[in-house]
Chains A and B, each alone.
Chain A
Amino acid sequence: MKSPFKEMTRQARLEWHALQSCQTPVIRVGTATCGRSAGAFKTLNALKSITHKLGTDCIIIEVGCLGLCFAEPVVSISTSSRPPVLYGSINENRARELVEKDVLGNEPVEDYALGTLGEKRLNNIPLLSQTDIFKHQIRRILKRCGLIDPVSLSHYLANEGYSGLEKAAAMSYEDIIQEVKASGLRGRGGAGFATGVKWEFCREAKGEPKYLICNADEGDPGAFMNRSLLEGDPHSLIEGMIIAGKGIGASKGFIYCRAEYPLALERLETAIKQARSAGFLGKDIMGSGFDFDITIKKGAGAFVCGEETALIASIEGKRGMPRPKPPFPAVSGLWGKPTIINNVETLASIALILQKGAKWYAGFGSKHSKGTKTFALVGEVKRPGLVEVPLGITIREMIFDIGGGIRADKDFKAVQTGGPSGGCIPESLKDTPVDYDSLNAVGSIMGSGGMVVMNTDSCMVDVAKYFLEFTQKESCGGCVPCRLGTKQMLDILEDITTGNGSIEDLKILEELCQTVKRSALCGLGQTAPNPVQSTIRYFKSEYLAHIIEKKCPARVCRALISYFINPETCSGCGACRLACPTGAVSGHKKQPHEIDQAKCTRCGACMEKCPKKFSAVQCIPGKIF
Chain B
Amino acid sequence: MKASLELLFSEFEGRKEEIIPLLQAAQTCLGYLPKEALLEISRFIHIPESQVFGVATFYTQFRFSPTGKTHVMACRGTACHVRGAPRILKTFSDCLGIKDGETTEDLEYSLETVACIGACGLAPCAMINEKVEGKLTPKKVSGFFHRRTKNEITV
Spell out A's residues near B (CB within 8 Å). Answer: 33-34, 36-38, 69-70, 72, 218-224, 227, 259-262, 297-303, 314-321, 376, 378-380, 384-386, 416, 419, 450, 452, 454, 458, 463, 466-467, 470, 474, 476, 603-604, 608
Considering only residues 1-48 of chain B, those with a C-beta below 8 Å from chain A are 16-21, 23-24
- From A218, A300, A319, A454, B118 is in contact (CB under 8 Å) with A218
Whether B120 contacts A224 by the Cβ 8 Å rule is yes
Whether A452 contacts B78 by the Cβ 8 Å rule is yes
Q: A379-B83, A452-B78 are in contact. Are A37 and B131 (CB under 8 A)?
A: yes
- B134 on the interface (CB 8 Å rule)? yes
Whether A380 contacts B134 by the Cβ 8 Å rule is no
The number of inter-chain residue pairs (CB within 8 angstroms) is 141
Whether A317 contacts B19 by the Cβ 8 Å rule is yes
List the B side residues contacting A454 at CB < 8 Å.
82
- From B20, B58, B80, B116, A223 is in contact (CB under 8 Å) with B116
CA distance A227 to B122 in the complex (A): 15
Spell out B's residues near A (CB within 8 Å). Answer: 16-21, 23-24, 54-55, 58-62, 76-83, 87, 90, 114-123, 125, 130-135, 138
Whether B20 contacts A260 by the Cβ 8 Å rule is no
CA distance A300 to B26 in the complex (A): 13
Shortest CB distance A275–B (Å): 22
Whether B120 contacts A33 by the Cβ 8 Å rule is no
Whether B55 contacts A222 by the Cβ 8 Å rule is no
Whether B16 contacts A317 by the Cβ 8 Å rule is yes
Whether A69 contacts B58 by the Cβ 8 Å rule is no
Whether B132 contacts A319 by the Cβ 8 Å rule is no
List the A side residues contacting B122 at CB < 8 Å.
34, 37-38, 69, 72
Whether B115 contacts A474 by the Cβ 8 Å rule is yes
Q: A38-B122, A69-B121, A452-B78 are in contact. Are A219 and B116 (CB under 8 A)?
A: yes
Whether A224 contacts B119 by the Cβ 8 Å rule is yes
Whether B58 contacts A380 by the Cβ 8 Å rule is no
- From B82, B87, B133, A452 is in contact (CB under 8 Å) with B82
Whether A378 contacts B115 by the Cβ 8 Å rule is no
Whether A221 contacts B116 by the Cβ 8 Å rule is yes
Shortest CB distance B32–A (Å): 14
Since A222-B78, A299-B61, A376-B121 are in contact, a sample of 7 more A-B pairs with Cβ atoms closer than 8 Å, ordered by chain A residue number, is A34-B119, A36-B131, A298-B24, A376-B120, A378-B123, A384-B121, A474-B115
CA distance A537 to B23 in the complex (A): 45
Whether A37 contacts B125 by the Cβ 8 Å rule is yes
Q: A302-B60, A318-B55 are in contact. Are A608 and B138 (CB under 8 A)?
A: yes
Whether B134 contacts A37 by the Cβ 8 Å rule is yes
Whether B61 contacts A301 by the Cβ 8 Å rule is yes
Query: Of A72, A221, A318, A319, which is in contact with the most chain B CB atoms at under 10 Å from its CB?
Result: A221
Shortest CB distance A617–B (Å): 15
List the B side residues contacting A314 at CB < 8 Å.
20
Whether B82 contacts A302 by the Cβ 8 Å rule is no
List the B side residues contacting A463 at CB < 8 Å.
81-82
Closest to A222 in B: B78
Whether A300 contacts B60 by the Cβ 8 Å rule is yes
Query: Of B78, B82, B132, B135, which is in contact with the most chain A CB atoms at under 10 Å from its CB?
Result: B78
List the B side residues contacting A380 at CB < 8 Å.
82-83
Shortest CB distance A68–B (Å): 8
- From A320, A321, A379, B79 is in contact (CB under 8 Å) with A379
Whether A378 contacts B79 by the Cβ 8 Å rule is yes
CA distance A316 to B55 in the complex (A): 11
Whether B81 contacts A223 by the Cβ 8 Å rule is no
List 11 interface pairs A-B (beta carbons < 8 Å), by A numbering.
A33-B119, A34-B119, A34-B121, A34-B134, A36-B131, A222-B77, A222-B120, A317-B16, A317-B19, A318-B55, A603-B90
List the B side residues contacting A321 at CB < 8 Å.
58
Shortest CB distance B26–A (Å): 12
CA distance A416 to B77 in the complex (A): 12
CA distance A423 to B83 in the complex (A): 18
- From B54, B60, B121, A319 is in contact (CB under 8 Å) with B54
CA distance A34 to B131 in the complex (A): 11
Whether A221 contacts B115 by the Cβ 8 Å rule is yes
CA distance A376 to B121 in the complex (A): 8
Whether B55 contacts A302 by the Cβ 8 Å rule is no
Whether A221 contacts B76 by the Cβ 8 Å rule is yes
Closest to A314 in B: B20
Whether A262 contacts B60 by the Cβ 8 Å rule is no
Closest to A261 in B: B118
List the A side residues contacting B24 at CB < 8 Å.
259, 298, 300
Shortest CB distance A552–B (Å): 14
Whether A450 contacts B83 by the Cβ 8 Å rule is no
CA distance A74 to B80 in the complex (A): 22
Closest to B134 in A: A37
Closest to A315 in B: B17
Shortest CB distance A234–B (Å): 16
Whether B118 contacts A260 by the Cβ 8 Å rule is yes
Closest to B19 in A: A317
Whether B119 contacts A37 by the Cβ 8 Å rule is yes
Whether B61 contacts A384 by the Cβ 8 Å rule is no
Whether A37 contacts B132 by the Cβ 8 Å rule is yes
Closest to B132 in A: A37
CA distance A223 to B132 in the complex (A): 16
